[in-house]
Structure 1
Amino acid sequence: MKFNSILKRTIQYSFTEKDLDELEQDIVDYVKEYEIIYYQFSAQRLSACPHTTFETMGHHVTIGPSSWSIGVYQAAQLFEVVNRYNVTQLMPLRRDMNVPSRHEKRFSKSAYLISFLCNPVKHNHTPDMTIQKKIAKHLTTSFGGLIRAWLDILPQIMEHWVKVCIGNGGHLIRGAIAQMSSWQSFRDASFVRYELIADANAHCPQAKEDFVRTVYYGRLEYILHCTIPSNVISKNTEPKTILFGIITTCTQGHDATLELTYFRSLMLYIEIVDLAAICAVVGRIQIGTTNPQWVIVDRSGSWVRTAFTDDSLTVDTPQQDKL
């Protein structure tokens, strides 16, 4: 019953400092009792070691509620083995998350925006004409020009990737194609949150444009690695690489971090977005039986928000605040 009470409190969505102090003391008392009764300080009973619960408090404070995971449990067990048998030299080195492995390809758009494309990959993928037209429309919105002109500029062959890891410790996103084709059972990491600048008056042709940040949710199907040759429309003098996310939209205009957000099924609309617009992986839970729908679980914080900047703005010299 003690562990049940502790577990229920660790998955709460909010805490006060008093709650954390009480929870920490209850965990300490529980671990001491568990060591005597079950663990018995024996290496043969290491699988029953409860010390991983000590990690819970630090993760709640630094990362937030409901951050405890099986990864923490495994790390705690490894730490226990290393210390008990003094084999620190066998401790695996911590990998630099901003250095790609041999199975990844690093793509950096700026110092703060890094993506790692992960295998499997098709190097000779030819997008169908529907996708090519959507890419051309996206580039027309970004750089101007005509869709027909961009269709002539776009390469016929693009690299086709199904997994991407957001740099700086971000999420691993697994496209729906990888999810369906894999023989292993993975957690569905294909549903994502992405943010775009949209015209709030798009439905009123005569109204003045009003561009606002809009939150979308959808399922990432796959990623296209597109190299645009030099051209007069985008005015790039050297080949430019853009990563496109192919997404099936499920909601628009609702922020699941602020309000309950539901959808019944995926829309038929396929959207092409710059991969930089994707913020995080989200979860979903099916509710109801007769007329089921999905509720989106978005635990992303303000630190993963997409930052939109206007390059045409000039930076003024900051003025000192008047006393």
Structure 2
Amino acid sequence: MEQWGKVRRLDGGDTMLAAGLISHQRDSRDATFVRYETLVDKHAHQCNLPPTYEKQTFYGRLHHIFVVHIPFTLALKVDGPTTIFLTALSTCKLKPTPSSLSSLDIHFYSNLNDALDIVDIVCLQCLVGRMPIDGGRQWAIIDRSGNLARAVFED
């Protein structure tokens, strides 16, 4: 397994940095906060129901990028040797958005979750900006991609 410090979306996309490997300069922008989208089971807490997946959008800080090389193994049911790219992120604990700002796609948070989410790297969508508010006790997330730049999941 390898660790990488940064990754770039194809076709001129954003370069996202892993906070765990890249030192942050105080006079530069923080390119570790991202928007990511995953499929979440609506019935995860009801084990008697079959899973029903829906797309959810999350904002968080990218901590690690892992590259896992898997050799050909019949037990894993893969066609041959394969490489998997995973990311570890701490999710922003979003606060309710005031109705006056809901059309602007601005979200607010003050803390990150302690536990890390491990997701496939294709879930990463883009960098997001942050702006301190309320004397630095809260942050506003500025998602410059808008509602048109969202992932499409297929069965």
TM range (shorter): 0.7 to 0.9
Report the Cα offset of residue 303 of structure 1.
5.1
Cα 1:246/1:286, change in 2 over 3 Å = same
Report the Cα offset of residue 232 of structure 1.
2.9
Report the Cα offset of residue 225 of structure 1.
1.1
**Alignment partners' CA distance in 1, 2:4 and 2:134:** 35
Cα 1:231/1:172, change in 2 over 3 Å = same
> Does 1:197 find its partner at 2:39?
yes
- TM-superposition CA deviations, 1:127-158 (whole Å, max 9, x none): xxxxxxxxxxxxxxxxxxxxxxxxxxxxxxx1
> Does 1:162 find its partner at 2:8?
no
> Does 1:232 find its partner at 2:78?
no
- TM-superposition CA deviations, 1:246-272 (whole Å, max 9, x none): 1111147x8987644221111101111
Give SS of 2:60's match. strand
Question: Whose Rg is larger?
Answer: 1
**Alignment partners' CA distance in 1, 2:56 and 2:48:** 21
- What is the aligned length? 150
RMSD over aligned Cα, in angstroms? Answer: 2.6
- TM-superposition CA deviations, 1:32-73 (whole Å, max 9, x none): xxxxxxxxxxxxxxxxxxxxxxxxxxxxxxxxxxxxxxxxxx
> Does 1:305 find its partner at 2:150?
yes
Cα 1:182/1:193, change in 2 over 3 Å = closer
Cα 1:167/1:262, change in 2 over 3 Å = same
> Does 1:213 find its partner at 2:55?
yes
**Alignment partners' CA distance in 2, 1:272 and 1:308:** 18
Cα 1:258/1:251, change in 2 over 3 Å = farther
**Alignment partners' CA distance in 1, 2:149 and 2:84:** 20
1:294 corresponds, among 115, 119, 139, to 139
Higher relative contact order (CA 8 A, sep 6+): 2
Report the Cα offset of residue 200 of structure 1.
1.4
Letter in 2 for 1:295: A
Cα 1:164/1:211, change in 2 over 3 Å = same
- TM-superposition CA deviations, 1:217-254 (whole Å, max 9, x none): 110012111111122343113110111111111147x8
Letter in 2 for 1:272: I
State the partner residue of 2:119.
Answer: 273
User: Which ranges of structure 2 fall in alignment gaps of 5 or more residues?
Assistant: none
State the partner residue of 2:18.
Answer: 175
Please report the TM-score for the alignment, with normalisation by the length of structure 2: 0.83
Cα 1:183/1:207, change in 2 over 3 Å = closer
> In the alignment, is the contact (CA less than 8 A) between 2:105 and 2:142 conserved in 1?
no
| % identical equivalent positions | 35
Letter in 1 for 2:39: I
User: Which ranges of structure 1 fall in alignment gaps of 5 or more residues?
Assistant: 1-157, 311-323
Give SS of 1:280's match. strand
